[in-house]
Amino acid sequence: MPDEDDSPASKVTFSERLLTDDDRREARAFVGFGFWFFPAMTATVVVIVAGLMLFGEIEKSLGWILLVLFGPLTYFLAASRLRQYGRVKDDLAGGKVLVFKGAPGWVYADRSGFTYVRFAGFDADIRVPNDVFRELQDANLVALAVLPTSNLAVEVHIEHGLGLGFTAN
């Protein structure tokens, strides 16, 4: 009797192809409005609180508490997003895409609302479009075209049951 790890469904295959214009558009969509929303929102709160403190509209003690809460949060969110954006930019300049095919091991959404998939035996999380979350949870086989450094899926092909397919790009 074969081990569970030797089943064809648990194998992940890799290949490489060139980046297409559709892939570039999809990658740019990942770093659009939703990507920058939370860092911009916290930065806006910091600027508003600092302005209100400067013009004496709120107590300085309350202003300092808000600045201490939102200042570091803004810094870490912005630094993280800038680092991720740099990886995407480097991947687009590199011009290559890795294609993974296999059964998804784990599909989840993190606290920031982004959706990720992880293949069995592969320890990197791949960010996928949020609208394919339910489809990925029910999938038997998935093919993902992924930017190698940033781990962004620019093309998603999902198969259910007897080979019925769903493609999102």
Span 95-124, pLDDT tens digits: 899 998 888 888 888 887 788 998 877 778
Q: What is the pLDDT of residue 1?
A: 39
* Model confidence at 3: pLDDT above 50: no
Asked if 69 and 119 sit in the same domain, the reply is no
139 and 119 in contact (C-beta within 8 Å)?
A: no
Q: What is the pLDDT of residue 169?
A: 60
Asked if 101 and 164 sit in the same domain, the reply is yes
* Model confidence at 9: pLDDT above 60: no
Supply the CATH number for residue 146's domain: 2.40.50
Asked if 164 and 106 sit in the same domain, the reply is yes
Q: Which of 61, 91, 121 marks a domain boundary? A: 91
Q: What is the pLDDT of residue 109?
A: 87
Higher-confidence residue of 140 and 16: namely 16
21 and 95 in contact (C-beta within 8 Å)?
A: no
Q: What is the pLDDT of residue 165?
A: 53
Q: Whole-model pTM?
A: 0.74
Q: Using pLDDT thresholds of 50, 70 and 90, give the confidence band for residue 45.
A: very high
> What is the rounded distance in angstroms from the CA atom of residue 118 to the CA atom of residue 120?
7
Asked if 71 and 127 sit in the same domain, the reply is no
User: Facing residues of 111 across strands?
Assistant: none
* Model confidence at 166: pLDDT above 70: no
pLDDT per position as a tens digit, 46-83: 999 999 999 989 999 999 999 999 999 999 999 999 99
Query: Does 29 fall in a domain?
Result: no
Q: What is the mean pLDDT of residues 22-51?
A: 92
Average pLDDT of the chain to the nearest whole number: 85
Q: What is the pLDDT of residue 2?
A: 43
Domain ranges, residue 125: 4-20+95-168
Edge-to-edge strand list for the sheet holding 115-119: 104-109, 115-119, 126-128
> What is the rounded distance in angstroms from the CA atom of residue 90 to the CA atom of residue 163?
35
Enclosing H/E stretch for 38:
helix 33-54
> What is the rounded distance in angstroms from the CA atom of residue 120 to the CA atom of residue 9?
10
Query: Does 27 fall in a domain?
Result: no
Question: Domains in the chain: how many in total?
Answer: 2
Which tokens go with 157? 């092909």
Which tokens go with 75? 């810094």
Q: Which of 91, 110, 134 marks a domain boundary? A: 91
Asked if 67 and 111 sit in the same domain, the reply is no
